[in-house]
Amino acid sequence: LWDGHCVCDFLLKMIRHVFYLSLLVAFAACDAPHVPLDDIFIEKTFVPEQCVRAVKVGDYVRYHYIGMFPDGTKFDSSYDRGSTYNVFVGKKQLIQGMDKALVGMCVNERSLVKIPPHLAYGKQGYGNIIPPDSILHFDVLLLDVWNPEDGVQINTYHMPTTCSRKVEVSDYVRYHYNGTLLDGTLFDSSHTRMRTYDTYVGIGWLIAGMDQGLLGMCVGERRIITMPPALGYGENGDGSDIPGQASLVFDVVLLDLHNPRDGIAVTNQQVPQSCTRKTVAGDFVRYHYNGSLLDGTFFDSSYSRNRTYDTYVGRGYVIAGMDEGLIGVCVGEKRTITIPPHLAYGEEGTGSKIPGSAVLVFDVHIIDFHNPSDNTEFTVTYKPEECDKQTKKGDFVKYHYNASLMDGSPIDSTHNYGKTYNIVLGANQVVPGMEDGLMDMCVGERRRLVIPPHLGYGERGVTDEVPGSAVLVFDVELVEMEEGLPEGYMFIWNEDVSPDLFSEMDKDNNELVEPSEFTDYIIRQVNEGKGRLAPGFDPYRIIDNMFSNQDRDGDGKITAAEFKLKADEAAAHDEL
**C-alpha 297, offset from chain centre:** 8
Q: Which residues are paired to 364 by β-bridges?
A: 289, 335
C-alpha 76/C-alpha 68 separation (Å) is: 7
Cα separation, 452 vs 374, whole angstroms: 7
Q: What is the C-alpha separation between 34 and 86, in angstroms, rounded?
A: 35
Query: What are the beta bridge partners of residue 423?
Result: 397
What is the rounded distance in angstroms from the CA atom of residue 57 to the CA atom of residue 39? 18
What pLDDT score was predicted for residue 568? 64
Is beta strand 74-77 parallel, antiparallel or unpaired with respect to 298-301?
Answer: unpaired
Per-residue pLDDT of the chain (576 residues; tens, 9 = 90+): 234 444 444 444 455 554 544 544 444 444 444 446 789 999 999 999 999 889 999 999 999 999 999 999 999 999 999 999 999 999 999 999 999 999 999 999 999 999 999 999 999 999 999 999 999 999 999 999 999 999 999 999 999 999 999 999 999 999 999 999 999 999 999 999 999 999 999 999 999 999 999 999 999 999 999 999 999 999 999 989 999 999 999 999 999 999 999 999 999 889 999 898 999 999 999 999 999 999 999 999 999 999 999 999 999 999 999 999 999 999 999 999 999 999 999 999 998 899 999 999 999 999 999 999 999 999 999 999 998 899 999 999 999 999 999 989 999 999 999 999 999 999 999 999 999 999 999 999 999 999 999 999 999 999 989 999 999 999 999 999 999 998 888 898 888 888 888 888 988 999 899 999 999 999 999 998 989 999 999 999 999 999 998 989 999 999 988 888 766 665 444 445
pLDDT of residue 28: 47
CA distance 270 to 290: 16
Q: How many angstroms separate the CA atoms of 224 and 108, rounded?
A: 18
* CA–CA separation, 419 and 479 (whole Å): 11
> What is the structure's pLDDT at 544?
93
- Consecutive H or E run containing 540: helix 539-550
pLDDT of 289 reads 98
Of 104, 145, 111, nearest to 249 (Cα)? 145
Residue type, 545: N
Amino acid 62 reads R
pLDDT at site 390: 95
What is the predicted pLDDT for the residue at 38? 85
Check residue 566 and give its pLDDT: 65
- CA 106 from chain centre, in angstroms, equals 47
Rounded Cα distance between 465 and 454, Å, is: 17
- Measured between alpha carbons, how far is 422 from 126 in angstroms, rounded to an integer? 117
- Give me the amino acid identity at 540: Y
In the prediction, which pLDDT does 500 show? 86
In SS3 terms, 260-299 reads as CCCCCEEEEEECCCCCCCCCCCCCEEEEEEEEEECCCCEE
Nearest in space to 549 (alpha carbons), one of 564, 570, 534: 564
DSSP letter at 441 equals: P
Q: What is the DSSP letter of 498?
A: P
Q: What is the predicted pLDDT for the residue at 567?
A: 63
* Domains of the chain with bracketed CATH: 41-146 (3.10.50.40), 153-258 (3.10.50.40), 265-364 (3.10.50.40), 377-482 (3.10.50.40), 491-559 (1.10.238.10)
Q: Rounded to an integer, what distance in angstroms lies between the CA atom of residue 338 and that of residue 333?
A: 16
